[in-house]
Amino acid sequence: MIGAITAVIIRELTRFQRQRGRLVASFARPLLWLVVIGAGFEKLVPTEGTVSYKQFLLPGLFGMVVLFSTMLTALATVHDREFGPIRMLLVAPLPRYVAVIAKTVSSAILGVIQAVLLFPLIWILGLHPSFGALLELLGAIALGSLALGSFGMVIASRLRSIENFAGIMNFLMFPMFFLSSALYPASLLPGFLQPLVRADPLTYAVDLMRHPLLRGLYPGNLGTDYTVSFDVMVLVLFAVVLIALASLLFGEEEHLGRILLVEPPRAKGRRLPRPRLGLRRRDGASGSPVPLGEATPAD
Amino acid sequence: MSAAPAIAAAGLGRDYGRVRAVDAIDLQVQPGEFFGFLGPNGAGKTTTIRMLTTLLHPSRGEARVAGGDVIDDSLAVRRRIGVVFQETTLDLDLTAEENLRFCTRLYGLSRRESKERIDEALRLFGLTDRRHMRVRSFSGGMRRALDLARGILHRPAILFLDEPTLGLDPGQRRRIWAFLQQLVAEHETTLFLTTHYLEEADPCDRVAIVDHGRIVALGEPDELKRNLGRDRIDVRTDRADDFVAQVRELTGLEPQRAQHGLSLFADDAGSVVPRLLPLTAQGVEIGATHPTLEDVFVDLTGRGREAA
């Protein structure tokens, strides 16, 4: 089981390191938010404490990186299942939950790596966390990645094809980002949105990351929403329940069967040429009196 | 035929909603057998393979594979089988070696075993010098070869192959086939394969022809051909009219016109051809063809399909 999980992690890391575009995107997106949104909001939001809006926003951007990374990895799972390597996992003598855990853990690791690559921003924005606080931040990112990674796996297990990507982006990733505490303290959102805010794992992940970064500062209106132990508890609960759910959903092959057999959702242009049945006689006698070749099997 | 069968299915069927993909499959495959599963597209071949490899739950019936039930002992079954899918399962961004190592890790092989088997598999498929190249740069044939190598790394007792030569050129197909035959001979691996290149099924020990989710014929390729009967004897001449009477007289059979001259149908060409030999003195060529598996296949499935 450990071997299998290691195998999946090594594979994901190797792929990640070869996909330069992904790395660039994972850098560019949060920087854009920081520079543009951060600067704009900073002018608008009155600060009551010693925390600047950009400093407040930083954990939200770590959360964003983790959210996008884990969701993209989850979507890659859908592609994998249609075309490739995940089927090696499915025919290997491993229980389904091992495949799910392996995928979740590797997705979380990629999320952590990408967030850590942005760590220099901490000092650039004038924060000086202690070494202990940095470790705490790392732990928060890891736990948040795990919770979001398992959430991604549940989504992936129900997705028919990667073509739903735009829908996922618009109706899941962005709402999750905006409804979390990433851009503003969650408590500022109106009451009718609160149920959604509280159902969003990103809310707790960002909150947990914000604790060590803003510790010792006087945040005023730009503070954390929950206690550390509450955040940890909720995230662990999310991770455990969602991994269990994803294992259940992946174990049930009905869905997989539908995807692979009845409605193959092939991306255009990737379709293999469907070979015709070789219903020609080998002797090549064209004037064969035997009626041949009319048989075109229905697809 | 004394040992427990490698594969035993009884009434195995699967629906997707209201679509009946596989109706009811009954079959037994003996250990070491080279078994071909033929049928047109949509006949239920892939669904059957997926049920036998524990990837899909049957809607009805049961199956035992490599001594285990496909539902209750799915892990044990998966440990003893290898599966090569129709589409590649390789990761195109990884090298050949990395792909194989991913696989040996999944099966929990030790580092040494893993290295030995990967070396052997790469050598066997002529991929040693491409070991460190990314699979994306491989041709279709090389990818398929690597896929096969992956399927046998853990030395499965039964290897399932879904259209192993789909989309390959004839040279690549021949190489894959030579390897499969070698695998059966050396490791006594049971092979279960689907194909719709019918001429490829000839080397199989036994063949099942499946259509509309049911087995419509099962037997040795020769046996199936014999059941279809009817060898064809060709009389090649451009003066067909001159020979009709003679041919009828010599053989007692009614010749039919064909572009190359005349054709006769008989259960056994061997007894008819000698009687026609005198005609060769007049510049006529005599030839005979046994029915191919394709003929059997068309006979069993093709004509019925036209209406469908």
Same domain, residue pair B35 and B69: yes
Q: CATH number of the domain at B286, please.
A: 3.30.70
Same domain, residue pair B98 and B240: no
Same domain, residue pair B117 and B259: no
- What is the span of the domain harbouring residue B236? 230-290
Least confident piece of the model among A43-52, A88-97, A167-176? A43-52
Rounded distance, CA B237 to CA B235, Å?
A: 6
Asked if residue B214 belongs to a domain, the reply is yes
pLDDT value of residue B307:
32
B272-to-B126, B235, B267 alpha-carbon distances in Å = 47, 12, 9
Same domain, residue pair B148 and B258: no
How many structural domains comprise chain B?
A: 2
Same domain, residue pair B208 and B238: no
Write the residue in A14, A93, A281 that is nearest to B94 by C-beta.
A14
B165-to-A115, B162, B189 alpha-carbon distances in Å = 45, 9, 19
pLDDT value of residue A275:
41
B280-to-A82, B257, B273 alpha-carbon distances in Å = 60, 18, 11
The residue from B225, B244, B259 where one domain ends is B225
Three-state SS at B7: strand
Asked if residue B2 belongs to a domain, the reply is no
Rounded distance, CA A208 to CA A202, Å?
A: 10
Residue with tokens 């398992």: A150
Same domain, residue pair B20 and B118: yes
pLDDT in tens, A2-34: 888 899 899 888 888 888 787 788 788 888 888
Which among B233, B281, B282, B279 is positioned nearest to B260, based on CA atoms? B233
Asked if residue B297 belongs to a domain, the reply is no
With contacts defined as CB-CB under 8 Å, which chain A residues touch B16?
257-258, 261-262
Asked if residue B302 belongs to a domain, the reply is no
Q: pLDDT band at A273, cuts 50/70/90?
A: very low
Q: CATH number of the domain at B211, please.
A: 3.40.50.300
Q: Is the pLDDT of residue A144 over 80?
A: yes
Is the distance from CB of B255 to CB of B264 less than 8 angstroms?
yes
- Phi then psi dihedrals of residue A33, to 5 deg: -65, -40
Same domain, residue pair B59 and B154: yes
Same domain, residue pair B143 and B248: no
A16-to-A12, A21, A72, B136 alpha-carbon distances in Å = 6, 9, 12, 16
Q: Is the pLDDT of residue A259 over 50?
A: no
Interface ipTM: 0.72
CB-based contact, B59 to chain A, within 8 Å: no
pLDDT value of residue A163:
66
Asked if residue B187 belongs to a domain, the reply is yes
pLDDT value of residue A37:
86
Q: What angle do CA B240, B244, B247 make, to 5 degrees?
A: 115
Mean pLDDT, residues A83-99 taken together: 81
Least confident piece of the model among A67-71, A144-148, A247-251? A247-251
Write the residue in A89, A257, A299 that is nearest to B16 by C-beta.
A257
Asked if residue B299 belongs to a domain, the reply is no
Same domain, residue pair B248 and B126: no
Rounded distance, CA B188 to CA B209, Å?
A: 24
Same domain, residue pair B244 and B116: no
Same domain, residue pair B17 and B116: yes
CB-based contact, B199 to chain A, within 8 Å: yes
Mutation for A interface: B106, B211, B231, B306, most A CBs within 10 A: B106
Q: Are strands B60-65 and B7-16 parallel, antiparallel or unpaired?
A: antiparallel
The residue from B171, B199, B225 where one domain ends is B225
pLDDT in 10s for each residue of chain B, 308 residues: 456 899 999 999 998 878 888 999 999 999 989 999 988 877 888 889 989 998 888 999 999 999 999 988 888 999 999 999 888 888 888 999 999 999 999 898 899 999 999 998 888 888 899 999 999 999 888 888 899 889 888 889 999 998 887 777 787 788 888 888 887 778 888 999 988 777 777 788 999 988 888 888 888 888 877 766 677 788 888 888 888 888 888 888 888 777 778 888 787 777 888 888 888 888 888 888 777 666 677 667 654 333 33
> B289 or A146: whose pLDDT is higher?
A146
Q: Which residues of A268-277 are buried (b: 16+ CB within 10 A; e: fewer)?
A: eeeeeeeeeb
Rounded distance, CA B162 to CA B193, Å?
A: 6
The residue from B181, B197, B225 where one domain ends is B225
Which among B190, B191, B175, B192 is positioned nearest to B124, based on CA atoms? B175
- CA nearest B308 in A: which residue? A298
pLDDT value of residue A1:
74
> A43 or A252: whose pLDDT is higher?
A43
> A262 or B259: whose pLDDT is higher?
B259
Same domain, residue pair B93 and B204: yes
Rounded distance, CA B9 to CA B54, Å?
A: 13
Asked if residue B184 belongs to a domain, the reply is yes
pLDDT value of residue A142:
96
